[in-house]
Structure formats: C-alpha cells, structure tokens
Amino acid sequence: MPGLYDRLMDQIGDNDDDANDKPTGGLTPLDIAALPGDQRKVMMLLLREPGSDGLTLDVLRQKLPDVKDLPDILAELADKDWLIVKGRPPNASYKVNLRRKRGSKLVSGIWSSLSDRLDDDG
C-alpha cells in the first residue's frame, strides 16, 4: 500500500522521463514523519548526529532505552535503504540515507532571462 508521500509524488510528476533528475534511494523528511513511533525515534536520533560516521547499536541502546527490538528496527530501515550501514553487526554503525534533492531547472534559465532583460533595458 503506497504511502501519502508516494501518491503525492506520483501526482506532481516524480516519475519524469528524465532519469538523471529522478532521485533514487534514501528518504525525505516527509518519509520520516510518516514512520511508526519507534522507527521515527531512531531516525530522529540519527539525524541529530551531524557529521558523525553513524551510531553503533550499543550507543543507540544507551540513548533510546525505551525502544524495544532495536536490531529488528535497524534491519527493517536498512532493507528499505533508509539507513547506511557501515561494517557488520554487532560493530556496525548506522547513518540516515537522505535522498538528494532534485536539481532545479529554473536556476539555469533564470540568469539568461535576467541578462536578456537587462540587455533590452539598457
């Protein structure tokens, strides 16, 4: 069953023919907001570790003592390509795999348009 984000992206044209522009893998902030409670807690904690190489299972357990089945949650998120896993359990580290933003086509055309208008006025 597709989520709300998937349906919205289909409606606004995420499935463009230009394969170079289409984001692949990873997740967006909307995806995180739609996660069940414990999965969302894990992802939010990992997002709050900027510049880190990720957190290990032991560190996650220390910081989220109320989250049960942490290894199962991490495995499920990794299967969806929403986590980057470095190493092998139990010494693996986990990091959020954020989707890269789609490049804007507006930016390339705006400067030439501005330049044309300045040339016309001056």
pLDDT, one tens digit per residue, over 4-63 is 666 556 655 544 444 444 445 667 778 888 888 899 999 999 888 766 788 899 999 999
- Can you count the helices (H) and strands (E) in the chain? 6, 3
Confidence (pLDDT) at 67: 92
What domains can be seen in the chain, in order of their start residue? 26-101 (1.10.10.10)
Cα gap 74→19, rounded to integer Å: 30
Predicted model pTM: 0.60
Residues 59-114 have pLDDT tens digits of 999 999 999 899 999 999 999 888 889 988 778 999 988 765 555 555 566 666 76
Tokens standing for residue 49: 């570790």
